[in-house]
A and B are shown apart, each in its own frame.
Chain A
Amino acid sequence: MSRLEVVKTGKLWIGGKWPRSESGATFPVTNPEGEVVARCASASRKDSRDAVEAARSGLGKWRDSTAMLRGQVMYRAAEMLEGRAAELTEALQFGGAGAAAARQEVDASIDRMVMLAGWCDKIHQVLGCQNSVAGPYHCFTIPQPCGVVVAFSPAEPALLSLVTLVGAAMSIGNSVVAVAPPQAGLAAVLLGEVLAVSDVPAGAVNILTGNQKDLVEPLGGHREVAVVVSGGLSKASRVAVRMAAADGIRRVHAVPWTGSAWEDDEETCSPWFLEQFVEFKTLWHPAAS
Chain B
Amino acid sequence: MTQTEGAVAAAGWDYSPAPERTRPDIESEYGLFIDGEFRKSRSGKVFDTINPATGERLARIAQADEADVDAAMAAARSAGPKWARMKGRERGKYLFRLARRIQECSRELAVLETMDGGKPIKESRDVDLPLVAQHFFYHAGWADKLQWAFAGRPVRPRGVCGQIIPWNFPLLMAAWKLAPALACGNTVVLKPAETTPLTALHLARLMQEIDLPPGVVNIVTGFGETGRLVATHSAVRKVAFTGSTGVGRTLMQETAGREIPLTLELGGKSPNIVFADAAIDQAIEGVVGGIWFNQGHVCCAGSRLFVEESILETFVSALRDRMKQLRVGDPLDKNTDIGAINSEGQLERIRSLVRTGQEEGAILHDVQAEPLPKKGCWFPPCFFTGVQPSHTVAREEIFGPVLSVMSFRTPEEAIRRANATPYGLAAGIWTDKGSKIFEIASRMDAGIVWCNSYNQFDAAAPFGGVKESGFGREGGLHGLRAYVR
Residues on A close to B: CB < 8 A?
A: 126, 129, 131-135, 137, 139, 141, 144, 146, 223, 226, 235, 238-239, 242-243, 245-249, 251, 254, 266, 270-272, 275, 279-286
Contacts and interface: CB of A to CB of B under 8 A. Distances in A.
B256 A246 contact: yes
A279 B447 CA distance: 8
Q: Which of B150, B249, B478 has the most CB of A within 10 A?
A: B478
Contacts of B266: 249
Contacts of B481: 275
A285 B460 contact: no
Contacts, number: 115
Enumerate the 5 nearest inter-chain pairs by beta-carbon distance, A residue then B residue, closest first: A133-B458, A246-B252, A242-B256, A285-B451, A131-B460
B473 interface: yes
A146 B150 CA distance: 21
A133 B456 contact: yes
A3 to B, nearest CB: 52
Contact of A249 (B151, B245, B478): B245
B467 A248 contact: yes
Interface in B443-484: 444, 446-453, 456, 458-464, 466-471, 473, 476-478, 481
A239 B151 contact: no
A281 B447 contact: yes
A131 B458 contact: yes
Interface string B411-454: 00000000000100000000000000100011010111111110
Interface of B: 134, 150-153, 245, 248-250, 252-253, 256-257, 259, 264, 266, 422, 437, 441-442, 444, 446-453, 456, 458-464, 466-471, 473, 476-478, 481
Contact of B437 (A146, A271, A285): A285
Contacts of B253: 242-243, 246
A282 B259 contact: no
Contacts of B468: 248-249
A282 B450 CA distance: 8
Nearest to A289: B279
Contact of B476 (A141, A146, A249, A283): A141
Contacts of A286: 452-453
Contact of B252 (A249, A254, A279): A249
B458 A251 contact: no
A279 B444 CA distance: 12
A284 B252 contact: no
A141 B153 contact: no
Nearest to B134: A134
A272 B480 CA distance: 13
Contacts of B478: 141, 280
B256 A243 contact: yes
B270 to A, nearest CB: 13
B449 A282 contact: yes
B153 A239 contact: no
Q: Which of A134, A247, A248 has the most CB of B within 10 A?
A: A134
A223 B421 CA distance: 12
Nearest to A271: B151
Given A126-B151, A248-B468, 16 more contacts: A134-B460, A139-B461, A141-B461, A141-B476, A239-B256, A242-B252, A249-B264, A249-B266, A249-B467, A270-B152, A271-B151, A272-B150, A279-B466, A280-B473, A283-B451, A284-B461
A146 B481 CA distance: 18
Contacts of A134: 134, 458-460
B447 A282 contact: yes
B453 A281 contact: no
Contacts of B476: 129, 131, 141, 282
19 contacts: A129-B476, A131-B461, A133-B456, A135-B456, A139-B461, A141-B461, A239-B257, A247-B249, A249-B245, A249-B248, A251-B471, A280-B473, A281-B444, A281-B448, A283-B448, A284-B448, A284-B450, A285-B453, A286-B452
Contacts of B471: 249, 251
A282 B461 contact: yes
B462 A282 contact: yes
A165 B455 CA distance: 37
B450 to A, nearest CB: 5
Nearest to A227: B471
A138 B134 CA distance: 18
A245 B262 CA distance: 14
Contacts of B451: 283-285
A131 B458 CA distance: 9
Nearest to B476: A131
A281 B469 CA distance: 13
A254 B245 CA distance: 23
Nearest to B426: A282
Nearest to A130: B460
Contacts of A137: 453, 456
Contact of A133 (B150, B250, B460): B460
Contacts of A271: 151
A266 B152 CA distance: 9
Nearest to B152: A270
A203 B456 CA distance: 38
Contacts of B459: 134
A249 B460 contact: no
A235 B256 CA distance: 10
Nearest to A266: B152
Nearest to B481: A275
Nearest to A241: B256
A57 to B, nearest CB: 15
Contact of B464 (A135, A144, A280): A280
Contacts of B477: 129
B458 A281 contact: no
Contacts of B264: 249
A144 B257 CA distance: 28
A249 B425 CA distance: 13
A228 to B, nearest CB: 12
Contacts of B257: 235, 238-239, 242
A239 B254 CA distance: 10
Contacts of A132: 460
Nearest to A127: B478
Contacts of B462: 131, 141, 280, 282
B457 to A, nearest CB: 9
Q: Which of A126, A243, A284, A285 has the most CB of B within 10 A?
A: A284
Nearest to B449: A283
A231 to B, nearest CB: 14
Contacts of B437: 285
Contacts of A235: 257
A281 B446 contact: yes
A245 B458 CA distance: 31
Contacts of B150: 272
B442 A144 contact: yes
Contacts of B248: 249
